[in-house]
Structure 1
Amino acid sequence: MSSIDEKLQPVFDQVLQRNVGETEFHQAVKEVLESLGRVVAKHPQYLDDALIERICEPERQIIFRIPWVDDRGQVQINRGFRVQFNSALGPYKGGIRFHPSVNIGIIKFLGFEQIFKNALTGLPIGGGKGGSDFDPKGRSDAEIMRFCQSLMTELHRHIGEYTDVPAGDIGVGAREIGYMFGQYKRLTNRYEAGVLTGKGLTYGGSRARTEATGYGNAYFIQAMLATKSTDFEDKRVVVSGSGNVALYSIQKVKEFGAKVVACSDSSGYIVDDNGIDWALLREIKEVKRLRVSEYARAKGNGVHFVSTGSVWDVPCDIAMPSATQNELSGKDAATLIKNGVIAVGEGANMPCTPEAIRAFQEAGVMFAPGKAANAGGVATSALEMQQNASRDSWTFAQTEARLASIMQGIHDTCAETADEYGAPGNYVLGANIAGFVKVAEAMRSFGVI
């Protein structure tokens, strides 16, 4: 990984000055700026009119109070966020996250990443992100409904199918989207199906949306492996997390012939050397909402639950970090490299630290950054918007075929861009430059706005 070009250092200095303490946002901006030195050397026009500075500054940041009443009758207060980062390519598009760690810096990092991820899909969507520090764990359905309704009471005035189209993220699934959509419909007196994605199939959702991020990561890694004349067949895979992205990554790579031997949640990780039983894991995590330790208890002999250490201690050929940001450290990367990992695909947003990415690249490990590898989720959200706009509904096979085609296209764009800028095989640089150029060209066309 390179350092920031001297022509771009003032941009980063300004980001640090204006966004004090927002370390995840600083990290995301730095990674992109490190890739752009080659671009401004070849195309100095991108330094004109503060274009790069404008890309690093959100178009709009919304912070609001969310009051709601719990089951004991007590009033609770949470904070809500929506960062509408860049609309050069289309309406803002990005998920809503419910997690105690959510703050403005995390939402800005996610929104910034979303700009380039969405650009790579080739679909007309801009970049945004939202969320709240609300923790849905342990809350009743009634509490979650009241919280979602209160959030949407404020958020509804800032979104719309031609303005900003939120989706789900950590802590926000079909249940939460349903409550938010119901409140939006109630407040606006409109059945505007395209205002939210990740909806249920009975009211405008898309088939394959639940599976899309995990499937998309598997498709991207498959394309990356093919450049080295190999594939998933008989490979040992470790997936971190056990939520939506992890579950459907596991399902798809098993279809591709791999053996997934470990996954995790915040309580620890499980190791099943015979290969994880996907149906059982899905029942425990997605249906019953229990901890991964219950999988080990249900399977019995030969399956281990480990509450200490790291899931990355488990030897594998392919690693798929699919939990949360900065979960895979430089130390974890060194362990994976020592144990013979050949490819890493980021299912989560920025799950590998800069030190980990550097270690993988220096060791010659194929590395797929999240803004490319996990773009399948938002791509399928855009396909949901397309179906809503045309009052249509596609089959699962139709939607998955489009997803596979989009992920192959993203892979090829990243690879070709890396080649063009003298860094063959560097998918980080390829993704950053390809996404940036598309957004920057649109912004230049609009003038200084």
Structure 2
Amino acid sequence: MVAASEPEFEQALNELTTSLGPFLKQNPAYRKALAVVQIPERIIQFRVVWEDDKGQTQVNRGYRVQYNSALGPYKGGLRLHPSVNLSILKFLGFEQTFKNALTGLSMGGGKGGCDFDPKGKSDNEIRRFCVSFMTELSKHIGKDTDVPAGDIGTGAREIGYMFGAYKKLRNEWVGVLTGKGLNWGGSFIRPEATGYGVIYYVEHMIAKAAPQYSLSNKATLVAISGSGNVAQYTAFKVLELGATVVSLSDSKGALIAKEGTGFTREAVKRIGALKLKGGSLEGFSGDGEYTYHAGKRPWTLLSKVHIALPGATQNEVSKEEAEALVAAGVKIVAEGSNMGCTAEAIDVFEASRKKGGPHAVWYAPGKASNAGGVAVSGLEMAQNSQRLSWTPAEVDAKLKGIMAECYKICLDAGSKHSGEDLSSGNVLPSLLSGANVAGFIKVADAMKQQGDWW
């Protein structure tokens, strides 16, 4: 039973359960698998005591949710943000389990983090925090047990400090974290992977549903939210292909390109540098080419948009914002963030899809469309195990292949298990249903073969 204090987890569980309805009706034995898979194998909670630059003791709550290991070692990021709690980490670990299944790689699902806020902290404070955090976490992870990665608030600096602490504590060099530096076990394309992967997935959606909005067409308008790693590399790839990026955002507001223009690669680079220093988009100077809207997200600020890519955090698109996107002519919505759309927003997009016709919106859930990040993390693990490094072109080619296969899996499962009549050819299959059912079946079958349900 889900506690009332776990709204994010309850939302993720309800989404999966709803998607599985037609499949479970035809395959009732799998109901037992659903009952088992929704409970984490293990939850670890611990205190993190560290010293700030004034010599004062600070304490935070640290967590690791080891959700499911049927397909491989637990795999999922470490989030450092004041909002971190068990509900958010359970939802993320639950989603990660099925996302990892869709990559085709040998990875289970997990998530962790701490309610520590890296913003405004000195390098020394962050280093001391990371050493304290890893002192406890190191007892519960390992290259064949649990391999964490970065997430919100956990970038290359934090991964470096944590890896150094683990190496000293355990006296071993192993690929226990992903997102490492290139000259000490990291993989090419890892920083870019989530953003690039979103675009590789979306290209398949466009080819089937909206070829007129090819990303090689400058007239194609792409709205992106967020301004961190995922949003930046999503924007870079869109610009590389030739389409127009019309928005970025952060927790304080949205930055919108003036009509008839778009973000340049140089502008995105400057925004990345600004965010790295802890700045806000409010302080971005774009020579009058962009308008800042305090307290707003991009979705209601655009009169015309063809592709919307939420890339900030969970539940960043509401029902009203989804309706605004539909009114603005959006054709494709794909999440770069995890559970970026509220349940009510998804209902708006799915209702539009079911109507079919030229104005239908096709929605892809984050567990499919943003799987590129963890896919390249899995490739980093493989390189570490073999003590070798693949070239950027090799990693990028593997990422494209993984995202193509992920799309195909979701499309096929959505066509087969959604319970909808698609015979007219006027209605697109549900990628939401496809991602949930395909990921669930793969995990459930492995669990059954390992004796976890019968």
What is the TM-score with the length of structure 2 in the denominator? 0.92
The CA distance in 2 between the partners of 1:108 and 1:288, in whole Å, is 30
Superposed, 1:173-184 pairs within 5 Å as 173-184=155-166
Q: For residue 160 of structure 1, what is the aligned residue in structure 2?
A: 142
1:437 equivalenced with 2:453 (yes/no):
no
- What's the % identity of the aligned pairs? 52
1:310 equivalenced with 2:297 (yes/no):
yes
Q: For residue 9 of structure 2, what is the aligned residue in structure 1?
A: 25
Q: For residue 36 of structure 2, what is the aligned residue in structure 1?
A: 54
Q: For residue 338 of structure 1, what is the aligned residue in structure 2?
A: 327
Secondary structure at the counterpart of residue 66 of structure 1: strand
1:406 equivalenced with 2:410 (yes/no):
no
The CA distance in 1 between the partners of 2:446 and 2:209, in whole Å, is 35
Q: For residue 214 of structure 1, what is the aligned residue in structure 2?
A: 195
Q: Which amino acid aligns with 1:307?
A: A
The CA distance in 1 between the partners of 2:295 and 2:78, in whole Å, is 30
Q: For residue 247 of structure 1, what is the aligned residue in structure 2?
A: 232
The answer (yes or no) to whether the contact 1:284–1:294 under 8 Å persists in 2 is no
1:329 equivalenced with 2:318 (yes/no):
yes
Secondary structure at the counterpart of residue 43 of structure 2: strand
State the number of aligned residues. 428
The CA distance in 1 between the partners of 2:195 and 2:83, in whole Å, is 23
Q: How far does the alpha carbon of each residue in 1:33-63 deviate from its partner, in whole angstroms, 9 at most, with x for none?
A: 101122222222213xx32111000000000
The CA distance in 1 between the partners of 2:237 and 2:370, in whole Å, is 14
The CA distance in 2 between the partners of 1:201 and 1:181, in whole Å, is 13
Q: For residue 226 of structure 1, what is the aligned residue in structure 2?
A: 207
Displacement of 1:88: 0.2
The answer (yes or no) to whether the contact 2:204–2:404 under 8 Å persists in 1 is yes
Superposed, 1:160-309 pairs within 5 Å as 160-192=142-174, 194-228=175-209, 230=211, 231-232=214-215, 233=217, 234-273=219-258, 274-286=261-273, 287-295=276-284, 297=285, 299-309=286-296
The answer (yes or no) to whether the contact 1:285–1:291 under 8 Å persists in 2 is no
The answer (yes or no) to whether the contact 2:79–2:113 under 8 Å persists in 1 is yes
Secondary structure at the counterpart of residue 405 of structure 1: helix
Q: For residue 5 of structure 1, what is the aligned residue in structure 2?
A: none
Q: Which amino acid aligns with 2:281?
A: V
Q: Which amino acid aligns with 1:284?
A: I
Structure 1 residues 283, 302: CA separation in 2 closer, same or farther (over 3 Å shift)?
Answer: closer
The answer (yes or no) to whether the contact 1:418–1:427 under 8 Å persists in 2 is yes
Secondary structure at the counterpart of residue 254 of structure 2: strand
Q: For residue 105 of structure 1, what is the aligned residue in structure 2?
A: 87
Superposed, 1:84-103 pairs within 5 Å as 84-103=66-85
The CA distance in 2 between the partners of 1:284 and 1:141, in whole Å, is 21
Structure 1 residues 154, 365: CA separation in 2 closer, same or farther (over 3 Å shift)?
Answer: same
Q: For residue 72 of structure 1, what is the aligned residue in structure 2?
A: 54
Secondary structure at the counterpart of residue 242 of structure 2: coil
The CA distance in 1 between the partners of 2:210 and 2:268, in whole Å, is 31
Secondary structure at the counterpart of residue 432 of structure 2: helix
Displacement of 1:272: 1.7
Q: For residue 36 of structure 1, what is the aligned residue in structure 2?
A: 20
Displacement of 1:431: 0.1
Secondary structure at the counterpart of residue 198 of structure 1: coil
Displacement of 1:332: 0.3
The CA distance in 1 between the partners of 2:283 and 2:237, in whole Å, is 23
The answer (yes or no) to whether the contact 2:61–2:115 under 8 Å persists in 1 is yes
The CA distance in 1 between the partners of 2:332 and 2:33, in whole Å, is 35
The CA distance in 2 between the partners of 1:288 and 1:275, in whole Å, is 24
Displacement of 1:176: 0.2
Displacement of 1:291: 1.8
Task: Flag structure 1 segments of 5+ consecutive residues without an equivalent.
Answer: 1-13
- 1:418 aligned to 410, 414, 417, which one? 414
Secondary structure at the counterpart of residue 46 of structure 2: strand
Secondary structure at the counterpart of residue 209 of structure 1: coil
Q: How far does the alpha carbon of each residue in 1:118-142 deviate from its partner, in whole angstroms, 9 at most, with x for none?
A: 0000000000000100001000010
The CA distance in 1 between the partners of 2:319 and 2:288, in whole Å, is 33
The answer (yes or no) to whether the contact 1:87–1:125 under 8 Å persists in 2 is yes
1:45 equivalenced with 2:29 (yes/no):
yes
- 1:427 aligned to 428, 431, 442, which one? 431
What is the TM-score with the length of structure 1 in the denominator? 0.93
The CA distance in 2 between the partners of 1:309 and 1:92, in whole Å, is 36
The CA distance in 2 between the partners of 1:412 and 1:53, in whole Å, is 27
Displacement of 1:267: 1.9
Q: Which amino acid aligns with 1:217?
A: V
The CA distance in 2 between the partners of 1:256 and 1:45, in whole Å, is 46
The answer (yes or no) to whether the contact 1:247–1:278 under 8 Å persists in 2 is no
Task: Flag structure 2 segments of 5+ consecutive residues without an equivalent.
Answer: 353-359, 421-427
Secondary structure at the counterpart of residue 195 of structure 1: coil
Q: Which amino acid aligns with 2:209?
A: K
The answer (yes or no) to whether the contact 2:120–2:278 under 8 Å persists in 1 is no
Displacement of 1:229: 5.0
Q: Which amino acid aligns with 2:186?
A: G
Displacement of 1:261: 1.0
Displacement of 1:305: 1.3
Displacement of 1:290: 2.4
Displacement of 1:294: 3.2
Q: How far does the alpha carbon of each residue in 1:140-198 deviate from its partner, in whole angstroms, 9 at most, with x for none?
A: 01000000000000000100010000000000000000000000000000011x11000
1:142 equivalenced with 2:124 (yes/no):
yes
Q: Which amino acid aligns with 1:255?
A: E
Displacement of 1:289: 4.0
Secondary structure at the counterpart of residue 138 of structure 2: helix
